[in-house]
Structure 1
Amino acid sequence: MRDEEEIREQYEFLKEQLESDDMNHQGIREMFTHYKRALGWTLEEEYI
């Protein structure tokens, strides 16, 4: 299981990526990969 700090770090990373001027098609795909990972960690914490 992931700890809250790890999830918060992932969230901050995603937030920075979305605010970046370099966000392009590939950047968006990578961002969603990180988002899905963070969401999975959160759901794992809630249901286990």
Structure 2
Amino acid sequence: MRTEAEIRDQYEYLCEQLESEEMRHDRVRMLFTHYRRALGWVLEEEHI
């Protein structure tokens, strides 16, 4: 299982990638967006 710090790092990395010009393809953006949301839910559940 990954630590909270590892999950946060990955979440921040995905946010940066979504903002980059290279990730403007709609399907790639959609995939990263769903993955980012899932990581966000994991982080929220850890703090509830």
- The TM-score range, normalised by the shorter chain, is 0.5 to 0.7
Considering Cα pairs closer than 8 Å and 6+ residues apart, tell me whether 1 or 2 has the greater RCO: 1
Q: Does 1:44 align with 2:45?
A: yes
Q: 1:14 Cα shift? A: 0.9
Distance of 2:37 and 2:8 partners within structure 1: 14
Contact 1:2–1:41 (CA under 8 A) maintained in structure 2: no
State, as a whole percentage, how many aligned pairs show the same letter.
Answer: 36
Q: Count the aligned residue pairs.
A: 47
Which residue in the other structure is 1:8 paired with? 8
Higher helix share: 2
Contact 1:2–1:45 (CA under 8 A) maintained in structure 2: no
Unaligned ranges ≥5, structure 1: none
Contact 1:11–1:38 (CA under 8 A) maintained in structure 2: yes
Which residue in the other structure is 1:24 paired with? 25
TM-score by length of 2: 0.64
